[in-house]
Amino acid sequence: MTDDVISQLEAQERDLVFTRFDNDDAWKLGSALVIMAQRRSLPIAIDIRRGTQQLFHAALPGSVTDNDTWIERKVRVVERYGVSSFLFGRRLAARGVELGAGLGVDPAQYAPHGGAFPVRVRDVGVVGVVTVSGLPQEDDHALVVEAIRAFL
């Protein structure tokens, strides 16, 4: 089962590639995520960044400060490993490995849980991260993927 999930996540990352990504794209994608979440009454925080610059942030009703802490931890996973936080977490689980000192990271600073997805630009690579926090990790990931798929 884990191999199937990992294969599906890898396929998403191959398929969901941008041709470009600028501030306007971040605004449009973030606004679309807000609308999706409002229609579903989801208590989430949304974060979109390019490099180290935060281009979009929204905290919807029901979200809490801790969601922002989770966002930072998930973003660090994408920035360090170049794949979605959910894919990285599933790969670790498949190997029976936990994120920690053995991998050279502080688990208080990194969260291999679903919700952060790389903004990958064709012929460039990963330039940013789209993150959602507030739902179970599979749902955080699925919402980001749904929004990016619709955007592209």
Residue spans per domain, the chain: 2-151
Distance CA 113, CA 138 (A): 8
CATH 3.40.1280.10 applies to domain 2-151:
no
Is the model's pTM score more than 0.75?
yes
User: Which tokens go with 101?
Assistant: 């000192």
Beta-bridge partner residues of 3: none
- Over the stretch 47-94, which tens digit does the pLDDT of each residue have? 999 999 999 999 999 999 999 999 999 999 999 999 999 999 999 999
**8-state DSSP, 24:** H
Torsion from C-alpha of 118, 85, 130, 21, nearest 10 degrees: 0
